[in-house]
A and B are shown apart, each in its own frame.
Chain A
Amino acid sequence: MNRLKPFAYFEPTTLPEAIEILAAKKGAAFPLAGGTDLLVRMKRGVIKPSTIVNLKRIEGLDQIKKEPGRGVRIGALATFSAIEDSHLLRLSHPVIAQAVSVLACPSIRNLATMGGNIGRASPASDAAPFLMILGATVSLKGPQGERELGMGEIFSGPGTTASRPAEAITSLLLPDMASHSGAAYLKIGRREGMDCALAGVAALVTFSGGKREAEDTKIALSAVAPVPMRAKKAEKTILSGRLTEKCIREAAKVASEEISPVSDMRASASYRREVVRVLTYRALMTALQQAREG
């Protein structure tokens, strides 16, 4: 059996209690959410936490609810299955259910949480790209109180977030989507869903009234840089004139040139560039189609 090494264990029922324990243990304590990343790294011996603080008994951290006038708030402990099944999110941000359907597999999604995905800060996260194009903000709570960080600020490097010691992610706020918007997330991995993305691309297109020029566009990429990133040059290309197929083709090329992919056991850097070009093209075309219909 692949077993876990013993650790001290806490099961707080309130957030202040959890923060207090995390603060007292000064970095030796890890919060536990779905465990699909933490327990794997512990079993592999990559990390050896002396203390685990299970967040799952804290009431209310898994809620998904409308925040009138602002958008939809997703609790850090909401599982990807709950997010995928949320009627509210399917109506407000349809790209989320589409993206989550290619994140791992159903049994992992029944455990894995949104907060854990951000907390992991994986360069290959499948959640970060759609959160970035939707302009999500992350709420954190720690010994010094509460604060919010944008998706552009939350990751400080591969595997690390900008959170301060003993800070926990409590929720994410997704602003409502503008009308005449469309969005899509596409990913390529070796084993469908189950594998880390070789590259993932999320794209959003919002039309102005005339439906010829894009009023807004956002493109975010996963697995091609040390942290999930926006393809800002490609976004500029889209916003520079009429939104035609040719312009999308050009933007996809620009995106493939502004990334800094690595060659590793999964794929070579040049293959990743090519994949980003193709996926960006397809994601933008899908987003465009939806924006026209919306």
Chain B
Amino acid sequence: MKISIDLTVNGERHQVDTTPWITLLELLRETLHLTGTKEGCGLGECGSCIVLVDGRPVNSCLMLAVDARGRQITTIEGLVSNGDLHPLQQSFIEKGAVQCGFCTPAMILSAKALLDENPDAGEEEIKQTLSGIICRCGNYKKIIEAVRTASDGKADS
């Protein structure tokens, strides 16, 4: 059972053939070869597969690819613009918020969604936003610090 879908990934329109049982995660990694999005558990529990759908974070392992039809998807590959890193990517590097890097795409994309909506999000909101993502390296402190550096941080001061 083939279904043809239209979706926009990182600003680029794609028309792809898929089957109903393919998840958005599989489509991104295996059809579009965007391997920045990771699978940890495949069951919604670890958050490493998070991408933005119409600007909001969702677990791509629990979304059928057919439900991405007509939607705007942003993956970690889409954050660089004209060769420049996104401010969050920059601050993750500067603060040492990346260890093995497996959780990083999900952390950065979720933080981006938060800061796009609320540029001066404080620590509590940052923690809430990232609460569904497990960092196996236990690097939470630096991750939160990196997001705070990228936010205006007015909410805390």
Contact = CB atoms under 8 A, between A and B. Distances in A.
A3 B26 contact: yes
Given A52-B20, A105-B132, A107-B110, A8 B64 contact: no
A125 interface: no
Interface string A98-112: 000100111110110
B50 to A, nearest CB: 5
Contacts, number: 92
How many chain B residues sit at the interface, stated as a range, is 35 or more
B119 interface: no
Interface string A103-143: 01111101100000000000000000000000000000000
B5 to A, nearest CB: 11
A43 interface: yes
A193 B132 CA distance: 8
B47 A2 contact: no
Nearest to A101: B128
Binding site secondary structure of chain B = mixed
Interface in B1-30: 1, 3, 19-23, 25-26, 29-30
B129 to A, nearest CB: 6
B44 interface: yes
A56 B71 CA distance: 13
Interface residues of A, number: 33
Given A7-B20, A8-B1, A56-B67, A106 B128 contact: yes
Interface of A: 1-9, 11, 32, 34-36, 39-40, 43-44, 52, 54, 56, 81, 101, 104-108, 110-111, 192-194
Interface of B: 1, 3, 19-23, 25-26, 29-30, 39, 41-45, 47, 50, 53, 56-59, 61-64, 66-67, 110, 128-129, 131-133
17 contacts: A1-B26, A9-B20, A32-B64, A34-B62, A36-B44, A39-B64, A40-B62, A56-B67, A106-B132, A107-B47, A107-B50, A107-B110, A108-B44, A108-B62, A110-B57, A110-B58, A193-B131
